[in-house]
Amino acid sequence: MNDETDAKRDRDRAFQREALVCLADVTRYALALTRNEADADDLVQETFLRAYRSWDRYEPGTECRGWLFTICRNQFLNSRARAQREVALEAPELEARQAAMVHDTVRNSPLEETWLRADLAPAIQRALGELPEVLRSAVILVDMQDMKYDEAARVLEVPVGTVRSRLFRGRRLLQEALLTYAQDAGYAPSDTQADRGSDR
């Protein structure tokens, strides 16, 4: 009986030492996925419950945060009870040209400093929430959680090249959404204003 008690105590200490220290990161990730605090709380609880039940399969000293993110994301997808939606990517050359055009529009705006000082947090959250899940996950893991491409690939269970493609597409869609927000808010000239200016 003492051996079982000691083993459970050791297991609990290891779980607390390696897994529970990641609680804040997993909570942020869950909130970014669900975009709802109550749903995020449920997802975090389920993530850690499943992690605790599967702790015997975790290899001590490895990347626990990535392992928890994988559990969290899988639970999120399962809870939605639908297949993961894949997004067809456009030709890389066209993607690159479109991204450069969006960037140049912002960079060449006469209101660039105002644009840079604007509070973009609400617009970013809204734009992020409108991304397809496969793109949103890549952006969250790499740009918000500071994961390397190979770490994100393990969490998403896809090749590194797929992570790069999804990240490129997600970033471009975010750029376009934020440019639209900036134009609507008067931080950057709209397409019609730019056209009128070029006619003068």
Within the chain, residue ranges assigned H as helices are 2-18, 23-34, 37-53, 64-80, 92-107, 112-117, 121-130, 133-139, 149-156, 160-185, 191-199
Q: What does the domain layout of the chain look like in residue ranges?
A: 2-80, 92-199
| Residue 87 in tokens | 């997004």
Q: In the CATH hierarchy, which fold is given to the domain comprising 2-80?
A: Rna Polymerase Sigma Factor; Chain: A (1.10.1740)
Class of 92-199 in CATH: mainly alpha
DSSP state of 196: H
- The pLDDT assigned to 106 comes to 45
Q: What confidence score (pLDDT) does residue 89 get?
A: 47
pTM for the whole structure: 0.58
- Residue 190: the pLDDT is 59
Reported as a single tens digit per residue, the pLDDT across 87-104 is: 444 455 555 555 555 445
Measured CA to CA, the distance from residue 149 to residue 17 in angstroms comes to 26
Query: 54 exposed, middle or buried (CB, 10 Å; 0-12, 13-18, 19+)?
Result: exposed
Cβ neighbour number for residue 180 with a 10 Å cutoff? 14
2-80 and 92-199 share one fold: no
What pLDDT shows up at residue 51?
93
Q: What is the pLDDT of residue 68?
A: 94
* CA atoms of 73 and 178, how far apart (whole Å): 26
* Range in 47-61, 120-134, 182-196 with the lowest mean pLDDT: 182-196
